[in-house]
Structure 1
Amino acid sequence: MEPETLREYVSENRELEKQLTKRNQQYIFDLKKSLNAANLSEEEKTKVLHEMLPVLVKEQKGGRTARQLFGTVSERTEAILSTPETPTESSSPLLMWLDNTLLILGIFGLIMGVMGIFVEDSTQVYGLITLIVMAMAGGWVFYLMYKYMYQYEHPGADKSKRPKMWKSILIMMGAFFVWVGSIALSSMLIPTSINVILDPVYLVIIGAAAVGVRFYLKKRYNIIGSLSAPRR
């Protein structure tokens, strides 16, 4: 969970707890002690309470108590601890950019390598430096797509912060031209002694390695994909 989101949850939880009846306040107090004794992380406790408190505030108006809704404190603690922890998705700009860069490098490396191996008279268009620059610039462009467009399509997103469509389009057009320009300039200005044309076999190895590293990092840090369709 992002630090800003966690702070919002903590603030909302405090306000909701103030609205509880004395009996329900005692239940939450005892539940916190029980979760502390079970060594549940502060983030997980905050998330658990953020799910429970709105329900409790709403239902207590009809006379229902926390015990009636969630069982005893020990039963609720056991239920919380037995629920598999949902991995927190990372929307770190650096990790998302790296994820996109490795994906583009992997795809183009594999395509260019396979074509060079199996297609007669196939010529490699890009040198190694240009290929890396293309992947890095493209990773940045696709992160911007997420930042200015896709993130606001996800459930729970604050659409009031969404930039005007015309602004997003202008930013994306500018980023796209920078991407194309970086490819062209690196191809033209960097000498072939540095911007070497690799054997197709090496391109396949680089492409496969990029895909493998991306797969590991995505699993390790649960990185949100800029290129994936927003989940509904």
Structure 2
Amino acid sequence: MENYIEQLTAKNSEYVHIITRELVKIGKTDEEIKTILSEILPEIIDAQNRRILAKDLLGTPSEFTARYAPKIAKTDSSGKAIITYDNETPVLMWLDSSLLMLGVLCLMNGIMANMNKNSRTYGIITLLVMSFVAGVIIYLMYRLIYKKQAMGLKVPWPQSIAIMVVAFLVWITLFGATVMLPTTINVVPPRLVVIILGAAALGIRHFLKRRYHIKPALGSLSQPVGK
């Protein structure tokens, strides 16, 4: 097995190191880990020779180790099963964040417009672009910064700041561009419709989260990261 490890590229070596640590976390013994590695290392080397990364072959470290995790349902003190939201499918995590942003923006915009008759509601394109682009940004921040930190990987702070600044500038630029669209294109819906749209977005998000157990990217940004 040592011969295979010596042949690994830097990226594949890092991948093996991460999955080894994750296997330890889920309770695998040294012998079990050696058995797992002895099975996958030849496959990784073979794929490496074909310029295929271990991540592309076996999935992300969390996806790979999930195959070996004990299938035990978590329960609370009353014995009721606890739902775990651990589905990290990119499209679902993006959609979850986007629907949350759409719901919050629509409700805030609609309610404020009702409270102040001089206030205006945003056009439908503006609301959708602001929300779904924000969803992309939130997911990228989770994937490129916070997930790596949680896995124990160091992300240089200049890189973190640069990602956040670029993401914010993109969001502001697109927001400004959509606001300038004529109302014939960027239709401004009635205040009540905006509120209903916001409530519907949050309702759909709740349904999808419960149905697919989606991990919230936005919630993950505020959680403590691993050392």
**Which of 169, 186, 189 is the equivalent residue of 1:195?**
186
Q: How far apart in 2 are the matches of 1:174 and 1:193?
A: 31
Q: Write out per-residue CA displacement over residues 161-202 of structure 1, whole angstroms, 9 at most, x where no aligned residue.
A: x332211211111111001001111221x3311211110000
SS in 2 for 1:46: coil
- RMSD, aligned α-carbons: 3.4
Query: Which residue matches 2:42?
Result: none
Q: How far apart in 2 are the matches of 1:148 and 1:98?
A: 18
Q: How far apart in 1 are the matches of 2:133 and 2:107?
A: 18
TM-score by length of structure 2 reads 0.63
Letter in 1 for 2:210: K
Q: Which runs of 5 or more residues in structure 1 are unaligned?
A: 21-42, 50-79
Q: How far apart in 2 are the matches of 1:120 and 1:89?
A: 43
Q: Does 1:175 align with 2:197?
A: no
- Does structure 1 conserve the Cα–Cα contact (< 8 Å) formed by 2:109 and 2:194? yes
Aligned residues: 170
**Which of 138, 146, 164 is the equivalent residue of 1:142?**
138
Larger gyration radius, structure 1 or structure 2: 1
Q: Write out per-residue CA displacement over residues 101-122 of structure 1, whole angstroms, 9 at most, x where no aligned residue.
A: 1011000101111122232322
Q: Write out per-residue CA displacement over residues 27-62 of structure 1, whole angstroms, 9 at most, x where no aligned residue.
A: xxxxxxxxxxxxxxxx9883239xxxxxxxxxxxxx
Q: Write out per-residue CA displacement over residues 54-95 of structure 1, whole angstroms, 9 at most, x where no aligned residue.
A: xxxxxxxxxxxxxxxxxxxxxxxxxx6897586460122211
Q: In structure 2, do the counterparts of structure 1 residues 19 and 106 end up closer, same or farther at CA, with 3 Å as the change threshold?
A: closer
- The percentage of counterpart residues that share the same residue type is 34
Q: Which runs of 5 or more residues in structure 2 are unaligned?
A: 1-14, 36-64, 76-80
Query: Which residue matches 2:214?
Result: 223
Q: How far apart in 1 are the matches of 2:127 and 2:193?
A: 13
- Structure-to-structure mapping, 1:52-201, within 5 angstroms: 87=84, 89-124=86-121, 126-154=122-150, 157=151, 159-160=152-153, 162-188=154-180, 190-201=181-192
SS in 2 for 1:227: helix
More deviation, 105-114/214-223: 214-223
Q: In structure 2, do the counterparts of structure 1 residues 93 and 210 end up closer, same or farther at CA, with 3 Å as the change threshold?
A: same
- Does structure 2 conserve the Cα–Cα contact (< 8 Å) formed by 1:89 and 1:221? no
Letter in 1 for 2:137: V
Q: How far apart in 2 are the matches of 1:93 and 1:47?
A: 21
- Does structure 1 conserve the Cα–Cα contact (< 8 Å) formed by 2:98 and 2:135? yes
